[in-house]
Amino acid sequence: MSSEVAIRADGLGKCYQIYDRPQDRLKQTIFRGRKQFYREFWALQDVSLEVMKGETVGIIGRNGSGKSTLLQLLAGTLAATTGDMRINGRVAALLELGAGFNPDFTGRENVYMNGAILGISRPEIERRFDDIARFADIGDFIDQPIKTYSSGMIVRLGFSVSINVDPDILIVDEALAVGDMAFQFKCLERLESLTKGGTTLLFVSHSMDMVKTFCNRVVYLREGRVEGRGPPEEMAEKYLFDLRAEQQRSRGTGSAVKWKEPLYSSGQAAFGSDDGRIVSAEFAGGGGQFCGFIAGEQITIVVDAEFSSAVESPHLSLIVQDRRLVQLGGRCFRLVGTRGADGVIRARVQCAFPARLAQGRYFVTLRLEDRKSEEVFFPLDKQAGLISFEVLRQRRDFLGTVDLGMQCSEASMP
């Protein structure tokens, strides 16, 4: 990573004038500021940011937190109300779906128009056009008007232009969420290649795994202000905490979600409510909170938990993660437990799985929860990266991180 600054923003703010009635806008024009007929809405306030060349920075936050506004300011498609910024290098931005495209122009014409906007000469775009069309992979639609495209095709073409003009800075706003899985995989490979080549990447994503995988740092926005900045793992947990706390408030039952002390000093972060807690977690056989295993060896984890009888659907989730706390796999268990004389229900879970993983360090996140469905659950106690293990040696006959147990044999030809 270079020590040269690619993006520097100081005190950026964006304020919109909100008029309750159309005639108020006319009155504001007539009175020329002597009287105010609008309400101010600050979409972004006092945001300062410094991104070095070659760095990958994620912007996270809930919808309406100011993420897209910030990217539009940095891309130059919006003017800031307050603050100033400096951009060092050519910027390519993939923001709103279809932004920068003329719907009546063909895909080919839009490619040349976007190239001109980015300061690329027509001969240069002609030289790169085949690569752009090949990556977009929209076939004969390249010569059809953009207004006939599906949303996925628009993203394909927009992304292809952005990454094939050799940008110094690439800004992406959740565009990959629209494309199909095959295209997303191709885009991620290309993004990885660009960042390795020194391109500065600034992007918005609601996928915490993607943020953890690609980002060197993360900026967390909340209600238009910087709520936090730091390592991806730390900011992801802060974001998830705020999300769960908001869900708990809207739910209107149970105790509030709050930060907790990690159960052990090895824990990365912890939060939950007073309705339950993880009491202990360790590797079986006296392994404690850290243990080493030979690839293929059985890993057994024993967890004790307790929770209130008011918890309707108690579950315990065990999640295996890599060194960036990106989820590799796990399991969710329904708990029954035994009610004590004090009314508290206590349960012990023993989870076993083979260490069919590549050599390296892995973490286990534990989550005691009141689970309503596969997607909806409320944390009673989440202990991120609480215990960890090392796979000391791996077999050389599988590829990637996880051994899928794939069986291959040569079959006779028909």
Closest-CA residue to 382 (of 186, 283, 240, 184): 240
Q: Does domain 5-232 have CATH number 3.40.50.300?
A: yes
- Give burial (CB, 10 Å; 0-12/13-18/19+) of 196: exposed
What pLDDT digit, counting tens, does each position of 157-208 carry? 888 888 887 889 988 887 666 566 677 777 778 888 888 888 999 988 888 8
What pLDDT does residue 330 have? 94
What pLDDT does residue 178 have? 57
Rounded to whole angstroms, what are the CA distances from 36 to 28, 40, 108, 354? 7, 10, 47, 68
What pLDDT does residue 357 have? 92
Q: Does domain 254-391 have CATH number 2.80.10.50?
A: no
Q: How many CB atoms lie within 10 A of CB 413?
A: 4
Residue written as token pair 């009314």? 343
Dig out the tokens for 5 from the structure: 């600054």
Rounded Cα distance between 214 and 206, Å, is 13
- Whether residue 84 is predicted with pLDDT greater than 90 in this model: the reply is yes
Give the predicted TM-score (pTM) of the model. 0.80
Rounded Cα distance between 42 and 66, Å, is 9
What pLDDT digit, counting tens, does each position of 222-270 carry? 999 999 999 999 999 999 999 888 877 776 666 788 999 999 999 999 9
Rounded to whole angstroms, what are the CA distances from 359 to 9, 158, 294, 371? 41, 39, 9, 33
Domain-wise residue ranges, the chain: 5-232, 254-391
Residue 31, C-beta contacts closer than 8 angstroms, at least 6 positions apart: 37
What pLDDT digit, counting tens, does each position of 367-394 carry? 999 998 877 888 899 999 999 999 987 6
More confidently predicted of 105 and 374: 105
What pLDDT digit, counting tens, does each position of 300-327 carry? 999 999 999 999 999 999 999 998 888 9
What pLDDT digit, counting tens, does each position of 12-68 carry? 999 998 888 888 888 878 877 778 877 889 999 999 999 999 999 999 999 889 998
Cα 214 to chain centroid distance, Å, stands at 9
Residue 240, C-beta contacts closer than 8 angstroms, at least 6 positions apart: 208, 382
- Give the pLDDT band (50/70/90) at residue 91: confident
- Give the pLDDT band (50/70/90) at residue 129: very high
Q: If you average pLDDT over residues 97-123, what whole number do you get?
A: 83
Least reliable range by pLDDT among 73-77, 178-182, 291-295: 178-182
Q: How many CB atoms lie within 10 A of CB 253?
A: 10
